[in-house]
Amino acid sequence: MPSRSPTPVALARLASLALLAFGATTSPTLLSAQQETVVVYLVRHAERAEDGTSDPPISEAGRERASVLALTLRDAGVTRVHTTDLKRTRQTGAPLAERLGLGVEAYDPKDLPALAARLRATPGRHLVLGHSNTTPALAAALGGEPGEPIAENEYDRLYVMVITPQGAVTTTLLRYGAPSRP
């Protein structure tokens, strides 16, 4: 029997189960009462359209992946969206930010320690969109497990990082959308 990829709803449920397993609440109401628990979802931008510039937009496949990301995280209680100041990261996070009525906060990918400190100090659930080199580096800067380097053609990695009030970090690696690697 051929294997099927999990649906966005199934992935959202898996993420919620992972959060429960590692001691985080899944209710935004309960989360706001705790004030110290931080959940960070880290993803690389979606597939880019090569347009010959240093700041290309996302492709049609990228727009589809951005929509799947919004569906995957729609019930995750995301309270903030952070992106670099490039089209591909902003466009990847836009569907979820729009769905949730959130603004998008730009960060400097050259200063990941500052972003990590800001995330650790800001209770809530954060979606952070980065790049193949910055996403694993940010996972490490937060004290989590970065895993293998992200391949140039890999766009489906989703880190779920739970940072407890005591500073312990649990990293869960999920995949979302269509597989992006051969």
Check whether 176 has a pLDDT greater than 90: yes
Q: Which of 6-10, 30-34, 116-120 shows the lowest mean pLDDT across its residues?
A: 30-34
Q: Which two structure tokens, joined as six digits, stand for 20?
A: 């429960």
Q: What does the angle CA 84 – CA 174 – CA 165 come to, to the nearest 5 degrees?
A: 75
Residue in this structure with the two tokens 């359209």, named with its chain if needed: 49
% of the chain at pLDDT higher than 90 = 77
CA distances for 138 relative to 1, 40, 70, 74, angstroms? 38, 10, 21, 23
Q: Which two structure tokens, joined as six digits, stand for 119?
A: 């995330």
54-97: per-residue pLDDT in tens? 999 999 999 999 999 999 999 999 999 999 999 999 999 999 99
pLDDT, greater one: 18 or 72? 72
List the chain domain ranges. 8-175
- Is 8-175 a CATH 3.40.50.1240 domain? yes
User: How many residues in total does the chain contain?
Assistant: 182
